[in-house]
Amino acid sequence: MPVERPASSLRLKIDREALAHNWRTLDRMSGSARAGAAVKADCYGLGVDACLPTLRAAGAQLFFVAHWGEVDRVAHHVPSDQIAVLHGPLTAGDAAYARARKVLPIINSLAQSKLWIESGGGPCHLMLDTGINRLGISPHETGDPLIAQLEVIGLISHLACADEDSAMNARQLDTFRALLPAIPHQFASLANSAGIALGSGYHFDVTRPGLALYGGVPRAELAGEIRQVATPEAAIIQTRQLSAGDKVGYNATFTAPAAMRIGVASIGYADGLLRSWGGKGAFLLRGDMRLPLLGKVSMDMVVVDLSQAPEVAEGDWVQIPYHLPDAAQISGLSQYELLTVLGQRLKSP
């Protein structure tokens, strides 16, 4: 007889109602612009299969990935002509794949423009560098004959400091506005999640929220508007009693000050709970009782203080507090990192 695989001692709860709420909120805040959705990096670590159906049902119709290898999983849920690939084509094979799948590449350079045109051309998006100095053609390249041959659907740029009150935001906005008339296009897009919060002047035709979809709050204007989406949970796999003076974990960085009860939770840095949490954070029991972390985080486990939770037994579940702004303060990680470092074991059934 076949034996059923045991259930995991890790799980990642995705609040799909919160995810849909966040997209609708960001779409509303985009005013007359329509919101797309950045779904790169496996929907910022939360899982394409878990998030894409919800985003599409909420109303999203334009999806952004970074790598060509991300296209197939996204196209399983949405029409391929709604997918844009941020890194653009580097080889003739990339261009052929884009054309065969009807995926739109984002052209980022004159070299990519030449490659796309010589391989057959067709609809594409074009990235303008307005000051971040990553991807995109420079302002002085907008008049190049190669650019004139592109069939540009979306004219796109990216803000460097939208999460700050920086003069660079206005400079990039002015540069983008000045460049728009130089290149025929169907829509213009500048704002990411934080850019949406900067106001209507940054919205243009399409906004590209990412972090805030998944619970991130990159600007104060979004606080109270964006809901937490992800909650990692781990099972307690052992409880034990310590005596005063006993040590906990690698390098014995915690010493029990008195007799105390502890639990070993089945999560570690291989799952995205990085060592920066060690000795500072706390897990939650039933959503409100704090269970402080003791000692260093190991690859697959971490120790918690059960002194105030004598009822906790092996097999019980604890929650990792993942309200992203608060978790960033505790861990020292950015809200982006907190999402994208989540390990595959949390998402395995």
Catalytic residue from among 13, 40, 44, 202: 40
Residue 147 CA to residue 185 CA, distance in Å, equals: 11
Collapsing DSSP to helix, strand or coil, 20 comes out as helix
Question: Contact at 8 Å (CB) between 158 and 176?
Answer: no
Do the beta carbons of residue 71 and residue 86 sit within 8 Å?
A: no
- Please tell me which residue in 102, 214, 247, 250 is annotated as part of the active site: 250
Query: Is residue 40 annotated as a catalytic residue, yes or no?
Result: yes
CA distance 325 to 218: 8
d(CA 79, CA 102): 9
Tell me the three state secondary structure of residue 39.
coil
CA distance 321 to 264: 17
> Which residue type does 236 have?
I
Q: Which amino acid is at 254?
A: F
Query: CA 173, CA 201: separation in Å to the nearest integer?
Result: 8
Q: Reply yes or no on whether 250 is catalytic.
A: yes
Q: Give the span between the Cα atoms of 124 and 139, in whole angstroms.
A: 19
Q: What are residue 76's phi and psi, to 5 degrees?
A: -65, -20
Cα separation, 89 vs 293, in Å, equals: 46
Secondary structure of residue 18 in the 3-state scheme: helix
Instruction: Give the catalytic positions in this structure.
Output: 40, 250
